[in-house]
């Protein structure tokens, strides 16, 4: 589990094919790896990956073909948001994030408003029903609050601190991003389905 509070901005240095899968070498930048062990989880642009090898400055991670199908940006050299897995003693500054991406959205607006930025994203239609005004959403690993929703498009305000300390500064209209909906929405839907299924018995 993660919080959606980015701890460092790293860089995918290389990717190599392993059958249908890939292995990434990721520069951790100022993400402290001293307390990370092989097998630990690290969120990379919102995708939960397992560290398979570690040095003082880099870690490697294996990405399955299934993960590549439902995410964006992991197979290329680029800047990425990094967060180590949540410890039970940590503060929950964002919201509970699993690192399991629900869909890939597209940036439709990214406007400087002076003291903050307005970010608008068009979500895949199949996950739009889970996105609610004032609800939480995770974009490329960043916990954000939804300001408005209109059909498949939702907006958020990005404060300068978030812009400077994540890879968001590189976003532009047309950029693709990993979206993870709030887990509460999943459980509400399942409870509704279960009630309907039970009522039909």
**Residue 162 within any structural domain of the chain:** yes
CB-CB contact of 138 with 107 (8 Å): no
Q: How many residues does the chain have?
A: 201
User: What pLDDT does residue 200 have?
Assistant: 61
User: What pLDDT does residue 95 have?
Assistant: 83
**Residue 58 within any structural domain of the chain:** yes
User: What pLDDT does residue 192 have?
Assistant: 84
**Residue 141 within any structural domain of the chain:** yes
> 178 with 122, same domain?
yes
**Residue 48 within any structural domain of the chain:** yes
Per the structure, how many domains does the chain have?
2
> 75 with 134, same domain?
no
* Of 84, 112, 137, the domain-final residue: 84
> 170 with 124, same domain?
yes
**Residue 196 within any structural domain of the chain:** no
User: What pLDDT does residue 96 have?
Assistant: 83
**Cα distance between residue 2 and residue 31, in whole Å:** 15
> 177 with 127, same domain?
yes
**Residue 151 within any structural domain of the chain:** yes
> 80 with 138, same domain?
no
Beta bridge partners of 97: 2
**Cα distance between residue 175 and residue 47, in whole Å:** 17
> 29 with 61, same domain?
yes
**Residue 75 within any structural domain of the chain:** yes
User: What pLDDT does residue 201 have?
Assistant: 57
**Residue 64 within any structural domain of the chain:** yes
> 80 with 107, same domain?
no
> 140 with 171, same domain?
yes
Three-state SS string over the chain comes to CECCCCCEEEEEEEEEEECCEEEEEEECCCCCCCCCCCCCEEEECCEEEEEEEECCCEEEEEECHHHHHHCCCCCCCCEEEEEECCCCCCCCCCCCECCCCCEEEEEEEEEECCCCEEEEEECCHHHHCCCCCCCEEEECCEEEECCEEECCEEEEEECHHHHHCCHHHHCCCCCEEEEEECHHHHHHHHHHHHHHHHHCC
Q: Which of 123, 117, 100, 120 is nearest to 46 (CA)?
A: 100
**Which residues of the chain carry a pLDDT beneath 70?**
89, 200-201
Longest C-alpha distance within the chain, in Å? 58
Q: Which domain holds residue 13?
A: 8-84
User: What pLDDT does residue 180 have?
Assistant: 96
> 79 with 107, same domain?
no
User: What pLDDT does residue 51 have?
Assistant: 97
> 139 with 174, same domain?
yes
CATH of the domain at 132: 2.40.30.20
> 39 with 109, same domain?
no
> 107 with 165, same domain?
yes
């Amino acid at each position: 589990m993660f919080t959606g509070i980015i701890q460092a901005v790293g860089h995918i240095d290389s990717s190599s094919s392993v059958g249908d899968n890939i292995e990434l070498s990721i520069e951790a930048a100022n993400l402290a790896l001293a307390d990370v062990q092989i097998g630990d989880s690290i969120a990379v642009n919102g995708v939960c990956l397992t560290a398979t090898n570690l040095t003082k400055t880099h870690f490697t991670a294996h990405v399955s073909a299934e993960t590549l199908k439902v995410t964006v940006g992991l197979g290329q050299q680029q800047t990425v948001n990094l967060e180590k897995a949540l410890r039970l003693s940590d503060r929950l500054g964002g919201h509970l994030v699993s690192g399991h991406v629900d869909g890939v959205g597209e940036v439709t607006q990214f406007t400087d408003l002076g003291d903050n930025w307005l970010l608008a994203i068009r979500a895949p239609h199949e996950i739009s029903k889970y996105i609610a005004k004032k609800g939480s959403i995770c974009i490329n690993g960043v916990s954000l609050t939804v300001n408005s929703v209109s059909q498949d498009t939702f907006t958020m305000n990005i404060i300068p601190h978030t812009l400077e300390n994540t890879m968001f500064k590189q976003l532009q209209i047309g950029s693709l991003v990993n979206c993870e909906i709030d887990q509460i929405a999943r459980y509400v839907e399942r409870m509704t389905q279960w009630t309907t299924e039970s009522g039909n018995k």
